[in-house]
Structure formats: structure tokens, C-alpha cells
A and B are shown apart, each in its own frame.
Chain A
Amino acid sequence: MLEIVDLHKRFAPDKPVLQGVSLALAREEILCLLGPSGCGKSTLLRVIAGLETPDRGEVRLNGVAINGLPAHRRGIGLMFQDYALFPHLDVAGNVGYGLRMQGMAAAERRARVDAMLALVNLQGYARRAVDELSGGEQQRVALARTLAPNPALLLLDEPVANLDRLLREELVQELRHILKTLHVTAIFVTHDQEEAFALADRIAVMQAGRIIQVDAPPQLYRRPANTFVAGFLGFRNLLPITATPGERQVCTAAGAFILPAAPPGPLAPGARLLIPPDAAVLDVQSPGPTYVSFSGRVTATTFRGSVFQLQVAPATEEVGCQLSFEFRNRGRDRLPTIGETVLLWLDTAQMIVVTADV
């Protein structure tokens, strides 16, 4: 229902913010724009909302180009990161603002406001002043206000970034529930990959004004398009490939591995081998045919409750090469100590070759 075609935007001649962004969104889909700060994701959102004019390119809503349409006539909702609640209006005044602008009658408006407040679990808050609310309550009011006029498309700019961690996880689940119940089509912006995984149907990763990869969360995690995406998703073990003696064989500082499946096409220079942190098992004898043994010296340990992490340097003593792995704790009393040599089994089926970041 939303199509973005080759958007370009620069704030200054030497400051390009969007460099040819194209994107399509299906009805009732929740898309997440994921990327580091300054990658242009918020600007893209503002262009779609009509708050910024693109230098080039087109935004189409249901097949109609809306470039020339001012923000107030687009029927696109935008929730701001700082919520931007009107401080001179109470909760009901905020939630009913869009309805008032539509010219909805007062009685009808009140009913709709109450329904929206019920939806976000804020029954009885109608007469509260917005600056008396907690951060989580303000976030809900902002959501109710954005949803009230029933926008064709909902845009959310870092919707939970201003909240503390526990509240964030709770609200992300609730947000997805609400959006799916109302069959809303939505784009939201975040720099937190866990938030994106939890909320989105599809994720578009942005870097320096370009969309690098668009995929559903599991595919994105399994097959990051390049080393930037892999790095941004939190993968640490990205080993430069030094040689490819056989079709399925790759050599790295941590050793040579024979991959079960051949990488598609010839390897571009700068390609790296990605070993996911959960691709290793400890204290088990040959867990499966795709596993290879790996002996290394522990250089750091981190205990995280149900899991723990080990940083391991290959026993071959390659300078500067470190791998980090995560293991289920499974009632373990003590962790390997630093300096200790451990025997790991690495699953080559989980390893992939990632092309270089451009």
C-alpha cells in the first residue's frame, strides 16, 4: 500500500541523508527501520509523514503519489520519540485532537477518546494533565492520540526508546498486540535490534542513507547481507577469509573450515566468515557430523545468569584473533577460568560467508 521510489534528500550539499531509498509495504504489515543514529531512518519517516520534502523520488500511498500533499492532508499518523504531547491540553484533549481537526462532533469524539484510552489501558485518565503522567503513561497517550483518527499508515519514531528496560519489553509486546488487533499498517524506527525482532514482520536495515537489506527477522538474523548488517546485529565473530583452497573450504586466523554448503558464487575480496555465538558446544564429544573440534585458551568470561559467554583465542596462537561464544548455563557451578584451555565443537552448518560492507 506504501511505495517509496528512489528517495533522495540532503540537508546541505555535503550532507546527504537519504541516497536513493526504495521500499514497498503491504497492507497490515509492520516494518521496522533499523540502523545506527544518523543513518537517515528518522528523516525517511518524516519524509513519508510530509514533514520534510525529498529532493528527488516519490512516495505513493495506495498507488497515488502524495509528494505534493501537506502533512495535515495525508492521513498518516506519526508518533514522536519525545511523544510531543500538547502540554496545554489534558489527556482527552490530546487524544481527541486529531478528531477535533476532522470536525467530529463532541459526543462522538468523547466516545472515541474513551475507546482509545481503554485500548491502551488508561481508562479514567481523560482529565489528567499530561505532565503528571509517568513516561510509560505518556507513551500510551501518544499512541492513543496517533491511533484515534484511524490513520491509513502509522509511523513510530523510536516509540519506546525513552523508557527503562523492563517497561520497554512489556510495552513492545503490548504495542505489537495493539497494532495487530487493529490491523494497522506501520513503520517504526529503532536502533535496537531486539526491539525490531520483537515487533516487526520485516526489518529494513539502513546505513548512511541507504537500505542495505530487507528481510523477516529470522532470515535477517540467519543471513545478514554484509559485514555491516552482521556487526549491527551484534555478531562479533567475523573472521577475515585468508584463502579458499577448495570450493567449500575457507581459511581464517582461527583455522580452516569446510562448509557443508558452498557459498553462492565466487568470493569477493573482503568477505568474512561469520560464526554465530551459539554455534559452539562445550564439554560434549562430537555432537554431530557438521561439528568440528576447536581448542582454545579462555581470555575472558562473562556470567549472565541463564547463559554465559567465553572469549577464546585459538590454541594456534594467532595474534589478535578472538572468538566469543555463548553457552546455556544448565546448572553449572563454575565457569572455565581465564587461561584455561577448553575444547569446543563448532557447527560448520551455522557458519556463513558474509560479503564486505561497501
Chain B
Amino acid sequence: MQRLPIGALYALPLIFLAVFYLYPLLAILRVSMGSGDFLAQAATALTSAAFWRLLWFTTWQAALSTLLTVLAGLPLAYIFARFDFPGKRVLHALLTIPFVMPTVVVATAFMALIGRTGLLNEWLQRLLALDSPPIQLEQTIWLILIVHVFYNVAIIIRTVGGFWSNLNQHLNEAAAVLGATPWQVWRTVTLPLLLPSILAASLLVFLFCFTSFGVILILGGPRFATIEVEIYRQAVSYFNLPLAAFLSIVQLGLTFSVMVVYTRLQARLSRTLRQRRPVRSQPPRAWRQWALVIAALLVTAVGLLAPLAALVVRSFTLGDQGSTLRYYQALTENPRQSAFFAPPITAVANSLTYALATLAISLPLGVISAYMLAQPRSRTAVILDPLLLLPLGTSAVTLGFGYIVAMGPLRASPWLTPIAHALIALPFVVRTFLPARRALDQRLQMAAATLGAAPWQRWWTIDAPLLTRALAISAAFAFAISLGEFGATLLVARPDRPTMPMVIYQALGRPGLLNYGQALAMSTILMVVTAAALLAIERFRLPGEEEF
């Protein structure tokens, strides 16, 4: 039997990244350099107050969002790490919701809860007999900050909480018997040990908030723009490609710097983690501990579920007619009776098709990459490892913009959307699959061999059970990412084949109750579909192998 050309297989991820990641970025560089004078462009931008305002706003809103997220996440991380209580598993599963929920859905959900016509305002108005809605957060920075915290608090809880529960409890006790007060124990032992994990999680949160797109675009209105939003506006609304290119490069430079620090911290974390032995979490004992746990439980559950519940409720009750299905029915109608417009409901099929295509691309590439990275002395791995992390630090809008300027005739291809989604999903697929692949200890194979297992039996009884779980989780992640992807899709998807997030965004942009209702209805559908993928993740998740 002829051997498979393994080398050729291994080249696939490299080729994919070169063509669909590096080449578009280079094209952006070319646009910004090639259109007359790059230096002049840069000089104009750098001397304009608007540019610095943009950079300043992007930075401080990200920093403030991160700070608030850490402040909200640390107490919850502590409770998750230290206590065992009924419902802990369910709550832990709920924490994944914001992580995979599309930005468009979350933004719409928060509008449905605390927007001007939101559920909470309606109740308060009725309850207190007020003339105007008491909560006036729409198009303020507060709403953006709240959503950013909602979005990212799970990162802090999972990263820091996971690390915290692995901290040796004896260290705190040793400090206490050496005379440290509880506050001194926290300051001299717990905090220094947690700090790397807090920093790493914060950097990731900062990165996500820094490149925040959908949340700002939908909730910020015209008043607020991050660099990411501005790139989109310059490229699509004003068609100022050189400025969009310049902004993309500035943003890339900044996000990559954050990425470098983040990966350094990650490496340090895995080193310090090696010597830890986990300590079992205990049920709360004193009534004060119970009060703390119950309060945290309620706040988390309400905070996570209330916006999504409001979204569902609102999609059935918007307007004055009580409960209604009209917004869902409207999704199936073609309002302009035009041959060019399909009913919005077709977007569900489009999104699912794109998501399946994303799976078809990202899973094989991710699995090949993971196998490559798991090889001990692979030269390609040295190149691939950082290369695979880069898409994580590259904003979706930049990528979509790169496709617009780089892909030429391919720009109209329906494949471009799943390719962009696959590229965004690839780092997640690899990071999820790699630990499982690495866990395939060679000695297990040898042990199985000495116990009499033939090669195929070894593969079937050892590799397959360990890897299928990881593969299923990777697939669920990729699926959810594709369903919710907004920034790149907005730039590359064809208008005649819109995805669900696009339809929601467009409906939000049009006036009238019917359009808003349709946005709510479509968001609800998208939420349900994503939640299905999410359930799959929680079913398959192995404890303690999260890298994000």
C-alpha cells in the first residue's frame, strides 16, 4: 500500500493561511501604501484630532470595560472556585452563553430588556405611573459597558476561577499559621499567585473590547465608534479605502502587541500550573457563606438570562396587541414583492449552509494543524503555532476588508463567507482539539499493544474515544462562531444571500415597529439555533481543558 503524502496534507493549513489570511493583510498594506503617498496619509491621520479621539475612545472604553469585567468576575470566580453548591454545574454551563451568543443577538436582547421601549422600562412605567421611560441608557456609553461586561465576564470567571480552584489551599493556611491576617493572606499569597491569570484574562477581554464591533455599531449609534467601526464606515459608507487601510494597520499593530504579551503570559501560566494540586471545593458552611453564594447565584443567573428572556418575550409581545406571532410571520413574507428580495426567513437557511461549510473547511484544517503542532520536533509547527494565533488577534472587519481589496473576481463568490468564518474559527478549533491530541500519550498506545490490541483496535479503543469528544466540541464552537459572525460577514457576504445577523442588523436600521419586531424575532431564532450548538458543547466538554 502506498503511503499517504503526509507532507502535502500538512501543507494545507499553511496554504490556507497564506492565501486567505496573509495575502489579504498584505493587500491592505498595498492599498494603504499604493494609493499615492502612505506617509502623507499617515501624516494627515496622525495630525487630525478625529484620529486621536477615535484611538482614545477605543482604548479607554476597552480599558474601562475590562476593569468593570474584572471587578464583576473576581467575586464570582472565587465563589465558583471555593464552593460546591446545588446548581453549580448548570450555572457553569450558563456561563458559556454569552461566550458564543452572536453580538447582534446580545445587543438586541439588551435593547429588549433595558432599551427605551424595553421590557424593564415598560414595567417600571406601568408600576410607577411614569410618563417617560426611567432607564435612559440607549446610545450611552453605559449600555456599551454593560454589554461588554455581560459578554466577557465568563472569560474572567472561567480563566481565573479555573486557576483559583487549582491553587493549593495549603498555601493560604500556611500563610495564616505563619501569622498573616486574612487580608495579608490575600495580598501576599493569593493575589500574587492569581495575578498572571487575571492579567492574561484581562488582556483577552481588553482585546475583545478594543475590537468591539457589533455592540458599538448597534448600541452606540452614530455617537460612538471604535477603530473597528470606523474601518467599516470608511470602507463601506465613504469608500475611503486608503484611510480604512491605514486604520486597519494601526489596529493590527496594537492588537498584535497585546497578543504577544498574552501568549507570553499563557506560557507562564501553564508553567506555574504544573506544580499545583487541586483542592476539592466545599459546600458553604456558615450562613454568611450561604448568603454570599445564593446572592452571587441569583445575580449571575438573572444577569445572564434576563436579557435573553426579555428578547424572547418581546419578540412575541411587541406593540399593543398582546401576544402575537406577526413578527415571525413577517419574516416569511416578501414585503416588496420583488424578485430580488427573498423573504427574511431564507437567511436561516443561508446561515446554516454557511455554518456547515465552515465546519467542512475548519475541522479538517484544524485537525491537521493540531496533529502537526502535537509533533515534538516539527519545523512546520514552529511556523504554524504563532501563525494560528494571529487570526485571533485580527479583527473580523479588517479581515473582511482585506478580502474586499484582495480577492478580485472571487469577491462575489458565495464561498468567501464560510472561508472567512473558517479562518476566524480555526484558532478555536485548534485550541480545543490540541489538548486532546496532546493527551494521547504514546504510552497508552504501547500499553494497549502489550495488552494484545492490534493497531486498528488501539486506534478504535484509545484514540477515537478521546478525540471524538474534542472534535465534537470544536465543531460546536466553529458552528456557533459561523452563525454569529457579524463583522467580516457584513463586508464579504453577498446582499442576495444575507445571514441571520445581517438581516437583524438591517431590520434594526429600518424604522417602524414591524422591522424592530422582525429583528427581535430573527434574534430569537438565531439564539435558539446557537443555544442548540451550545448544548452540544456542554455535553461534550471535558473538565479542565479550556484554553480560552
Contact = CB atoms under 8 A, between A and B. Distances in A.
A84 B275 CA distance: 11
Contacts of B179: 72-73, 75, 98, 101-102, 149
A259 to B, nearest CB: 49
A330 interface: no
B35 interface: no
B193 interface: yes
B168 A71 contact: no
Given A82-B170, A87-B193, A76 B175 contact: no
Contact of B192 (A50, A73, A88): A88
Contact of B171 (A50, A84, A102, A149): A84
A41 B380 CA distance: 55
A98 B185 CA distance: 11
Contact of A77 (B177, B181, B185, B272): B177
B178 A145 contact: yes
Interface in B142-198: 168, 170-171, 173-182, 184-185, 188-189, 192-193
A146 B181 CA distance: 17
A82 B178 contact: no
Contacts of B181: 72
A176 interface: no
Interface residues of B, number: 22
B170 A80 contact: yes
B364 to A, nearest CB: 40
B438 interface: no
B277 interface: yes
Interface in A56-92: 70-78, 80, 82, 84, 86-88
A84 B192 contact: no
Nearest to A101: B179
A131 B192 CA distance: 16
Interface in B264-291: 272, 275, 277
Contact of B178 (A51, A88, A149): A149
A345 interface: no
Contacts of A353: none
B268 to A, nearest CB: 11
A97 interface: yes
Given A80-B170, A82-B170, A86-B189, A97 B178 contact: yes
A82 B173 CA distance: 12
Contacts, number: 68
A71 B173 contact: yes
A33 interface: no
Q: DSSP majority for the A interface?
A: mixed
A101 B177 CA distance: 10
B193 A78 contact: no
Q: DSSP majority for the B interface?
A: helix
A73 B176 CA distance: 8
Contacts of A75: 179
B160 to A, nearest CB: 16
A49 interface: yes
Contacts of A72: 176-182, 184-185
Query: Which of B175, B178, B182, B193 has the most chain A CB atoms inside 10 A of its CB?
Result: B178
Contacts of B185: 72
B184 A101 contact: yes
Contacts of B178: 72, 77, 97-98, 101, 145-146, 149
A17 B173 CA distance: 20
Nearest to B178: A98
A74 B182 CA distance: 14
A208 B272 CA distance: 38
Given A87-B193, A87-B272, A88-B192, A82 B177 contact: no
A84 B180 contact: no
Given A72-B181, A101-B184, A84 B176 contact: no
Given A82-B170, A84-B168, A131 B175 contact: no
A131 B275 contact: yes
B189 to A, nearest CB: 6
A80 B272 CA distance: 20
Contacts of B188: 97, 100
B267 to A, nearest CB: 16
A131 B271 CA distance: 11
A70 B179 CA distance: 9
Interface in A111-142: 131
A97 to B, nearest CB: 5
Given A80-B170, A86-B189, A101-B184, A74 B177 contact: yes
Contacts of B275: 87, 131
Contacts of A77: 177-178
Contact of B173 (A51, A73, A100, A149): A51
A72 B189 CA distance: 14
A152 to B, nearest CB: 12
Contacts of A51: 173, 176-177
Contacts of B174: 78, 80, 84, 86, 145
Contacts of B175: 86, 97, 101
B277 A82 contact: yes
A146 B176 CA distance: 12
Given A77-B177, A78-B174, A88-B193, 6 more contacts: A49-B177, A71-B176, A71-B177, A86-B189, A98-B179, A101-B179
21 contacts: A51-B173, A71-B176, A71-B177, A72-B176, A72-B178, A72-B182, A77-B178, A80-B173, A84-B171, A84-B174, A88-B193, A97-B175, A97-B178, A97-B180, A97-B188, A98-B178, A98-B179, A100-B188, A101-B179, A145-B178, A146-B178
Give the 10 A-B residue pairs with the shortest CB-CB distance, closest first. A84-B170, A98-B178, A101-B179, A84-B174, A71-B176, A78-B177, A80-B170, A88-B192, A72-B176, A101-B180
Interface of B: 168, 170-171, 173-182, 184-185, 188-189, 192-193, 272, 275, 277
